[in-house]
A and B are shown apart, each in its own frame.
Chain A
Amino acid sequence: MLSSEASIQVPPLAYIHTRMNDEIIDGLRAFLRDEQILTADEDLDVYSFDGTAMLHQKPRCITLPETAAEVSRILALANAENVPVVTRGSGTGLAGGSVPVDGCIVLCLVRLDKIVELDAKNLVMVVEPGVLTGTIADTASAAGLFYPPDPGSIKISTIGGNVANNSGGLRGLKYGVTRDYIMALEVVLADGQVLHTGSKCVKDVAGFSLRDLFIGSEGCLGVITKVTLKLIPQPASKKTMLALFDSMTAAAGTVSAIIESKIIPCTLEFLDRVTVECVEGYAQIGLPTDCEALLLMEVDGHAAEVDEQAEQILALAKEGGAREVRLAQSADEALRLASARRTAFSALARLAPTVVLEDVTVPRSELARMVALIEDVGRRHGVKVGTFGHMGDGNLHPTFLCDERDEEEMHRVEAALQEVFDGAIELGGTITGEHGVGLAKKPFLPAQLGEVGIAMLRRLKDSFDPQGILNPGKVFD
């Protein structure tokens, strides 16, 4: 019965914060070097945005702590003074989650960048939050191990940001997302206390899993200062393939056929014509620019299994109407293809000054309908859209190419976005698969979570951060 709903409604959390001021900055100077506190106009400008289009807000100061102890003291001070704190790493977020709020302290964690331990006996790595995801992958690989999550920005995104947003990547279908590789966290709470949650044990049911609450919490519940990651053995072999299609439906059909044949590729990416043109414009690796859909597929595992699956996939693609199929001839070529795909989002900026990237996700079976819906919405609103994404896991990246200075066009983009989000929810999907809610998708969240869902988020927030100093105004109001 729905009558219980009314009893767990929690009103919007209305916080009244103190603006950061010179006195509080002096308080920071008691334990940080001058060089770790930035207040110059130029610094306020360059920390006023992240990777999201159009969103910017200047902070009042930026801190660059180098240890968890410094993070703890900054939070204790901010909590005592009731000043908002926005945590960030490299600032590559795509939902405005790390865009400052007015009068806040930015807590930038890029200097907490040590790999604490690579424990090959337990297959774990312990790192600080500012370590780059790519460094983690390389370090694991050098030891014959594998850290699978690989967001598009892997070369510059920090692991702290990945955990806070539960980032996905190109290998989601087979290997899952960041959450599947987090064993333990060290978290500094809003008042500066340090919480340890989780352990190196595969099995651990001691108490509620607080660890899981912080994964994807977008800086609203605590500040992650240490991460224990699960590693797996490196697959012995892999093969990369390319298939070109004259229609999106044929490509989507091929993806379904592959999965129905019980093959789980580690990568099943697709790029539409607009995206392929841009990527080729940058990477110049000889991608054909006259096909409607390009599938980039990778299988990994034991050599024999990989060979067999690659053959099957190539055959299925041909049956599915692929105009051309190709097998990468060397590890180098495979790497070039995967790296080129990672540049898709930024490469689309070649076509328009403002690039609004979304990450709606639907159950795999609904992919073809979602792609068609996006095309239709773009056409009806007269907005140029390039779409690419992770076809294997239903995570799409419709990218709206526009100019933020053109007000009329931006209204059309907004209307198109609303329809895309509504469509995704209707198909049983989600408004965000891997970027998070932040500011950009906050208005659309209630439609997906409902009143009960939002109310529970508010309760949770209130119990971890009663004064609401951590990233206020993000995710929900």
Chain B
Amino acid sequence: MSDGELNLLRDLDYSVVQQCMHCGMCLPSCPTYATTLRERSSPRGRIAMMRAIADGRRELSRSFAEEMYFCLGCLACQTACPAGVNYSELFENARAEVERQGLLDTPKRKRIRSWTLRWLFVERTRLHLLGRLLRLYQRSGLERLVRASGLLRLLPASLRELEPLTPRISRRFTASLHARSTDPPSPRYRVALLSGCVQDIAFADTNADTMYALRQNGCAVRLPEDQACCGSLHAHNGDGEMARDLARRNIDAFAPDTVDAIIVNAGGCGSHMKHYDHLLADDPKYAARAKTWSEKVKDIHEFLAEINFRAPKAGCGFDQVTYHESCHLKHGQQVSEAPRQILRAIPGLDLVELAEADWCCGSAGIYNITQPETSMRLLDRKMGHVRNTGVRVVATGNPGCVIQLQHGGQREEMDVDVVHPISLLAAAYRGEGETL
């Protein structure tokens, strides 16, 4: 290593790397270690590799890069770690350095990265445009035609596996659903909602349900118009620069000092948004506002539990539900009890616990695209547990998990509904009018 050369792992505060005392307590929590039983696929092994680089004993290699992308980034190891290692920071810096050095670059990978990270998931208008095109394809009969024609067989196997993962696009996006319910006359709280990317175009109803549930609990809900993608996709995939840029744009759009809370209903987004303070710590213009921002970001379940949400008086139409924990809700934000509390509060609804509820479903951002084989193995494991509960309804608080589990249902030919817990709560609130 030549001195003074930039290296994100070497520039990292050494205490973060040194915090790992390699006791191995993280190993049983790691889905990739369970798959290979090779130390390099474990959190302890990955940190040891990063430390070798931070110490200047090793240079980054292609094999290191591949291991960093084999990691799901599910952060289960962070929950398991008694020593308090900040794996998330290590992992993001490692991937960023891999990208900076271009270790995995191929023309195709570069094109896809630049198209998704630098074009699509940047402006909501672009995502909306893609959403409308996809919906047209799905609704016009073209999709049915393509599927029936066998044209899909021309795709490579890995892509063919993925085609069913394309989410159903909503008829209307979040902004046009803002007026579906109205703010209470004298609100107790003023909150702003992140509409998200996938959530916005594929699960706009979840956003409408979130607004409805908030309004039922005395909140005035604002939907900032200029909001951008939260940037988690970028941060987890080694594009720190774009992640910071998006964070700044969101802080401008939401004006955190004007609201009591910034609400997120996607576990992955929330986990990342809570770290804007860290992300922008060195930005003199934004550091202070980023700190306020991070204090105000709340997962929807977490927020409702904190304000002692009102228990609904009617049921939600189902009598049994099981709960799958989104990794970044459970491990990233340590929000685990609140969603269960909400589900248990719904009259007539029985919460059946899922074995390994906090084990990754294999969605992991875009992991099901980048590592389809491991992703599907994890999904099969998850669906096996769902089957064992004998329950038809799975609730989960992250759109990536919803898409993945829906796909799991199709793959295993299981009759399952995958819903956001807040949609069940909203359905119960709506049912009150009918029963009263």
Q: Mark A31-75, 1 if CB is under 8 A from B, else 0.
A: 000000010111101111111010000000000100000000000
Measured CB to CB, the nearest residue on chain B to A155 is B28
Residues in A whose Cβ lies below 8 Å from that of B24: 51, 90-92, 153, 156
Q: In the complex the two chains form, what is the Cα distance from A49 to B27 in whole Å?
A: 15
Residues in A whose Cβ lies below 8 Å from that of B67: 42
Q: In the complex the two chains form, what is the Cα distance from A281 to B81 in whole Å?
A: 12
Q: Are B27 and A90 in contact (CB under 8 A)?
A: yes
Interchain nearest-CB distance for B60 vs A (Å):
10
Interchain nearest-CB distance for B25 vs A (Å):
5
Is B40 part of the contact surface with A, judged by Cβ < 8 Å?
A: yes
Most buried by A among B18, B22, B39: B39
Measured CB to CB, the nearest residue on chain B to A91 is B24
Measured CB to CB, the nearest residue on chain B to A92 is B24
Q: Are B48 and A282 in contact (CB under 8 A)?
A: no
Q: Are B45 and A132 in contact (CB under 8 A)?
A: no
Q: Are B18 and A282 in contact (CB under 8 A)?
A: no
Q: Are A353 and B19 in contact (CB under 8 A)?
A: yes
Q: Contact check: which of B19, B45, B49, B84 meets A282 at CB < 8 Å?
A: B84
Q: In the complex the two chains form, what is the Cα distance from A337 to B113 in whole Å?
A: 47
Q: Contact check: which of A38, A113, A153, A346 meets B38 at CB < 8 Å?
A: A38
Q: Are A45 and B27 in contact (CB under 8 A)?
A: no
Q: In the complex the two chains form, what is the Cα distance from A90 to B25 in whole Å?
A: 10
Given A45-B52, A281-B84, also A156-B22 (CB < 8 A): no
Most buried by B among A40, A45, A64, A91: A45
Q: In the complex the two chains form, what is the Cα distance from A355 to B21 in whole Å?
A: 7
Residues in A whose Cβ lies below 8 Å from that of B64: 42
Is B61 part of the contact surface with A, judged by Cβ < 8 Å?
A: yes
Q: In the complex the two chains form, what is the Cα distance from A48 to B57 in whole Å?
A: 14
Measured CB to CB, the nearest residue on chain B to A90 is B24
Q: In the complex the two chains form, what is the Cα distance from A49 to B22 in whole Å?
A: 8
Q: Are B28 and A132 in contact (CB under 8 A)?
A: yes
Q: In the complex the two chains form, what is the Cα distance from A38 to B63 in whole Å?
A: 13
* Contacts of A272-297 to chain B: CB distance below 8 A: 279, 281-283
Q: Are A91 and B39 in contact (CB under 8 A)?
A: yes
Is B310 part of the contact surface with A, judged by Cβ < 8 Å?
A: no
Is B100 part of the contact surface with A, judged by Cβ < 8 Å?
A: no
Interface size on A, residues (CB 8 A): 39
Q: Are B83 and A349 in contact (CB under 8 A)?
A: yes
Q: Are A349 and B19 in contact (CB under 8 A)?
A: yes
Q: Are B83 and A156 in contact (CB under 8 A)?
A: no
Given A41-B61, A42-B67, A47-B39, also A343-B82 (CB < 8 A): yes
Q: Are A349 and B21 in contact (CB under 8 A)?
A: yes
Q: Are A42 and B63 in contact (CB under 8 A)?
A: yes
Residues in A whose Cβ lies below 8 Å from that of B61: 41-42
Is B258 part of the contact surface with A, judged by Cβ < 8 Å?
A: no
Q: Contact check: which of A45, A345, A353 meets B15 at CB < 8 Å?
A: A353
Interchain nearest-CB distance for A54 vs B (Å):
10
Q: Mark B19-42, 1 if CB is under 8 A from A, else 0.
A: 101111101100000000111101
Residues in B whose Cβ lies below 8 Å from that of A283: 82
Q: Are A46 and B28 in contact (CB under 8 A)?
A: no
Interchain nearest-CB distance for B139 vs A (Å):
46
Interchain nearest-CB distance for B357 vs A (Å):
16
Given A349-B19, A354-B21, also A156-B45 (CB < 8 A): no
Q: Are A41 and B58 in contact (CB under 8 A)?
A: yes
Q: Mark A342-361, 1 if CB is under 8 A from B, else 0.
A: 01011101100111000000
Interchain nearest-CB distance for A241 vs B (Å):
23
Q: In the complex the two chains form, what is the Cα distance from A463 to B58 in whole Å?
A: 42
Measured CB to CB, the nearest residue on chain A to B41 is A46
Q: Contact check: which of B15, B21, B39 meets A43 at CB < 8 Å?
A: B39
Interchain nearest-CB distance for A153 vs B (Å):
7
| 8 interchain pairs, CB-CB under 8 A | A50-B22, A51-B22, A51-B24, A64-B37, A343-B25, A345-B82, A349-B83, A353-B21
The 9 closest A-B pairs by CB, nearest first: A349-B83, A346-B82, A343-B82, A46-B45, A347-B82, A353-B18, A92-B24, A46-B39, A349-B21
Q: Known A-B contacts: A46-B39, A153-B23, A353-B19. Give 6 more (CB < 8 A).
A: A42-B58, A45-B52, A50-B22, A92-B23, A282-B84, A346-B81
